[in-house]
Amino acid sequence: MRPATKEPARQITFNHPTLAGEELKYLGEVLTGIHLSGNGEFTKRCQALLEELLPSGRALLTHSCTGALEMAAMLAGLGPGDEVIMPSFTFASTANAVVLRGARPVFVDIRPDTLNIDEGLLAQALTVRTKAISVVHYAGVGCEMDPILDFARDRNLLVMEDAAQALCAKYRGRSLGTFGQFAAISFHETKNIISGEGGALIVNDPSYFSRAEIIWEKGTNRSQFWRGEIDKYTWVDFGSSYLPSEVIAAFLLAQLEKSRELTAHRLQIWHRYREAFRSLETLGLLQIPHVPSHCEHNGHIFFVLAPTSVLREKWLKILWREGVYGVIHYVPLHSSPAGRKFCCVSGDMSVTDDIASRLIRLPLHLALDVIEQDRVIQVVTNLARGR
Ligand SMILES: Cc1ncc(COP(=O)(O)O)c(C=O)c1O
Using an 8 Å Cβ cutoff, are 12 and 380 in contact? no
Buried b (16+ CB within 10 A) or exposed e, 223-245: bbeeeeeeeebeeeeebeebbbb
Distance CA 144, CA 151 (A): 11
> Does pTM surpass 0.75?
yes
For domain 23-257, give the CATH number. 3.40.640.10
Query: pLDDT at residue 65 above 50?
Result: yes
What value does the mean pLDDT take over residues 236-254?
A: 98
- pLDDT (tens digit, 9 = 90+) per residue, 356-365? 999 999 999 9
Find the 193 Cα to ligand 1 centroid distance in Å: 13
Q: Looking at the predicted structure, is the pLDDT value of residue 183 above 50?
A: yes
The residue whose CB lies within 8 Å of the most ligand 1 atoms, and thus the one to mutate among 14, 65, 352, is: 65
- Interatomic CA distance for residues 276 and 324, integer angstroms: 16
Q: Whose CA is nearest to atom 14 of ligand 1?
A: 91
What is the whole-number distance in angstroms between the Cα of residue 66 and the centre of ligand 1? Answer: 6
Average pLDDT value for residue range 248-270: 98
Hey, whose CA ends up nearest to atom 7 of ligand 1? Answer: 65
Q: How far is the CA of 136 from the centre of ligand 1 (A)?
A: 10
What integer pLDDT is reported at residue 2 of this predicted model? 54
> What is the rounded average pLDDT of the residues 18-42?
97
Cα atoms in the 13 Å half-sphere on the side-chain side of 63: 12
Q: How far is ligand 1, taken at its centre, from the CA of residue 198, in Å?
A: 10
**Cβ atoms of 201 and 71 closer than 8 Å:** yes
In this prediction, residue 300 carries a pLDDT of 98
CA distances from 356 to 4, 107, 261, 278, 306 (A): 34, 15, 31, 21, 11
| pLDDT classification of 387: cutoffs 50, 70, 90 | confident
Which of 90, 91, 176, 195 for mutating ligand 1's site (highest number of atoms within 8 Å of CB)?
91
pLDDT of residue 4: 54
Pocket of ligand 1 (CB under 6 A): 64-66, 90-91, 93-94, 136, 162, 164-165, 186, 188, 199
Distance 188 CA to ligand 1 centre (A): 8
Q: Tens of pLDDT along 80-113?
A: 999 999 999 999 999 999 999 999 999 999 999 9
Length of the chain equals 387
Ligand 1 centroid – CA 63 distance (Å): 12
| Ligand 1 pocket mutation pick from 64, 110, 186 by most atoms within 8 angstroms of CB | 186
β partners of residue 303: 361
Domain ranges of the chain: 23-257, 259-384
The Cα–Cα gap between 258 and 143 comes to: 26
- Domain 259-384 = CATH 3.40.50.1970: no
For 113, phi then psi, to 5°, come to -85, -55
Distance 164 CA to ligand 1 centre (A): 5
Q: What is the mean pLDDT of residues 138-155?
A: 98
Q: What is the mean pLDDT of the chain?
A: 96
pLDDT of residue 5: 52
Residue 327 CA, ligand 1 centroid: distance in Å: 16
| C-alpha 98 – ligand 1 centre gap (Å) | 14
Look at residue 304 in the predicted model and tell me its pLDDT: 98
CA atoms within 13 A on the CB side of 266: 31
- Amino acid found at 299: G
pLDDT of residue 344: 98
Q: Find the mean pLDDT for residues 347-358.
A: 98
Q: Which residues contact 169 (CB under 8 A, 6 or more apart)?
A: 137, 140, 141, 142, 175, 176, 295, 296, 297, 298, 300
3 state SS of 6: coil
Q: Is the pLDDT of residue 130 over 70?
A: yes
The per-residue pLDDT for 7 is 54
Average pLDDT estimate for 42-64: 97
Nearest CA to ligand 1 atom 13: 91
Q: How far apart are CA 373 and CA 327, in angstroms?
A: 15
Q: Which atom of ligand 1 is nearest to the CA of 191?
A: 14
**Residue 8 pLDDT:** 46
